[in-house]
Amino acid sequence: MPRFIKTIAKPEGAPPGTLVLVGEQRTGPVRIRLIDYDASHLEERELATIADAFPLRDLPTVTWINIDGIHDIDLIQRMSRHFGIHALTLEDIVNTGHRPKFEDFDTYVYLVFKMLSYDPATMHIRSEQISLIVGPHYVISFQEAVGDMFDPVRTRIHQEKGRLRQRGCGYLAYALLDAVVDHYFTVLEAIGEKIEALEGDITDEPGSDTLRAIHRLKREMIFFRKQVWPMREIVSSLIRSESDLVSMSNEAYLADVYDHTVQVLDTVESFRDVLSSMLDLYMSTISNRMNEVMKVLTIIATIFIPITFVAGIYGMNFKFMPELEWKWGYVAVWGVIAVIALAMVAYFRRKKWL
């Protein structure tokens, strides 16, 4: 549940722009990876301090500073002073509970969105916040922890002939966004497989584990939807944006990301529908079984209760019970019992319970 709501960055009522890390508190050094490239040149290194990146700010090459960790408030503040980042942006970066959004500040655009990952064992979707600051000659990306999410993008930068090397910061931002959206599909695929497995379970042997798993997946889909829903607006704002920083000639690619986002959301909705439908099936199956159990109980009980009564009658110790003296009394009782039992069976047959 804490995933659904995190306190916003500042202590309640604090002035906006107060930097307080929200979410999982981490310690340890923050990893800063820098890639500086243009069509002909490529430099990749790890920085000890953010200040090492400052000289590259105004060079015409694309400078990508990837910061894994947002708990070093000091680092973020120094960076913001140098790159001229607005106080509200800083607040958003360290507030991991933020709703995804896109903001256009004249000198840079700011994007915040969620990376999702799925743990099949616990059926748990984890959300990590990604912030992108896209300036004229630099892209700064923030992740909550060290991750390998963007490794494919790095690989593509290394290919000298790739499109990434030819194009500017906007295209790099697109590539990072695209990598995140691609990953949503991977998560959905894993969940799709789990759903398929659960459907088999319902038919074969529905237990309370199945029930809990369906319920959990439903919750995860609510969570997934909440995280990804704003992405649509973000990408659509990017496409419509008049900022030179992101949109220049990338519309076709962004439209592609938009399509994928819509497809992700469509699939999430379908999964929710399928899960609801499965819950109905589960409940119906349980009802069916209960019905069957009840029928067996009823059949056994209604056959034996009357004949046991008959036996009880002739177990009484009255002095004067003429039947007890009859020669064929015992046999006659068996006859009576047989008649009762057969009548009951006939009744159940007619009711189609047998």
Among all chains, which residue has been given the structure tokens 């009823």? 298
- Provide, rounded to whole angstroms, the least separation between the CB of residue 28 and a second copy: 26
Contacts of 178 (CB under 8 A, 6+ apart): 253, 256, 257, 260
| Binding window for a second copy (CB under 8 A); candidates: 28-36, 124-132, 137-145, 195-203 | 195-203
Considering only residues 74 through 93, tell me which ones interact with a second copy, judged by CB under 8 A. Answer: 86, 88
What is the H or E stretch that residue 172 is in? helix 169-204
State yes or no: residue 253 binds a second copy (CB under 8 A): yes
- Provide, rounded to whole angstroms, the least separation between the CB of residue 277 and a second copy: 5
At 299, list the tokens: 């059949």
| Type of residue numbered 160 | E
Looking at beta carbons only, is 25 or 203 nearer to a second copy?
203
User: Binder to a second copy among 39, 47, 56, 333 (CB under 8 A)?
Assistant: 333
- Provide, rounded to whole angstroms, the least separation between the CB of residue 212 and a second copy: 7
User: Binder to a second copy among 73, 248, 321, 343 (CB under 8 A)?
Assistant: 321
Looking at beta carbons only, is 46 or 259 nearer to a second copy?
259
Among all chains, which residue has been given the structure tokens 């140098």? 82
Directed axis angle between helix 208-240 and helix 169-204, to 10°?
160
Looking at beta carbons only, is 43 or 323 nearer to a second copy?
323
Kindly write out the interface string for residues 4-23 of this chain, putting x where it contacts a second copy by CB under 8 A and - elsewhere: xxxxx-xxxxxxxx------
- Provide, rounded to whole angstroms, the least separation between the CB of residue 200 and a second copy: 10
Considering only residues 264 through 283, tell me which ones interact with a second copy, judged by CB under 8 A. Answer: 266-267, 270-271, 273-274, 277-283
Considering only residues 170 through 189, tell me which ones interact with a second copy, judged by CB under 8 A. Answer: 175, 178-179, 182-183, 185-186, 188-189
User: Binder to a second copy among 51, 146, 294, 342 (CB under 8 A)?
Assistant: 294
Looking at beta carbons only, is 290 or 339 nearer to a second copy?
290
Looking at beta carbons only, is 54 or 347 nearer to a second copy?
347
Looking at beta carbons only, is 131 or 267 nearer to a second copy?
267
| Binding window for a second copy (CB under 8 A); candidates: 43-51, 54-62, 63-71, 202-210 | 202-210
Contact 204, 134 (CB under 8 A): no
User: Binder to a second copy among 31, 126, 137, 295 (CB under 8 A)?
Assistant: 295
Beta bridge partners of residue 33, listed in sequence order = 46, 66
d(CA 345, CA 342): 5
Contact 179, 151 (CB under 8 A): no
- Provide the 8-state DSSP code for 95: B
Kindly write out the interface string for residues 41-70 of this chain, putting x where it contacts a second copy by CB under 8 A and - elsewhere: ------------------------------
d(CA 230, CA 60): 32
Query: Smallest Cα–Cα separation from 228: which of 119, 325, 99, 339?
Result: 99
Do the bridges between strand 138-143 and strand 62-68 make them parallel or antiparallel, or are there none, so unpaired?
A: parallel
Query: Smallest Cα–Cα separation from 231: which of 264, 207, 208?
Result: 264
Kindly write out the interface string for residues 131-160 of this chain, putting x where it contacts a second copy by CB under 8 A and - elsewhere: -------------------xxxx-xx--x-
| Binding window for a second copy (CB under 8 A); candidates: 52-60, 114-122, 134-142, 320-328 | 320-328
How many residues belong to the site for a second copy (CB under 8 A)? 125
- Provide the 8-state DSSP code for 189: H
Q: Quick check: helix, strand or coil at residue 117?
A: strand
- Provide the 8-state DSSP code for 16: T
Looking at beta carbons only, is 122 or 203 nearer to a second copy?
203
Contacts of 231 (CB under 8 A, 6+ apart): 100, 113, 181, 261, 264
Question: Where on the phi/psi map is residue 138: left (φ > 0), alpha (ψ -120 to 50), or beta?
Answer: beta
User: Binder to a second copy among 27, 122, 318, 350 (CB under 8 A)?
Assistant: 318
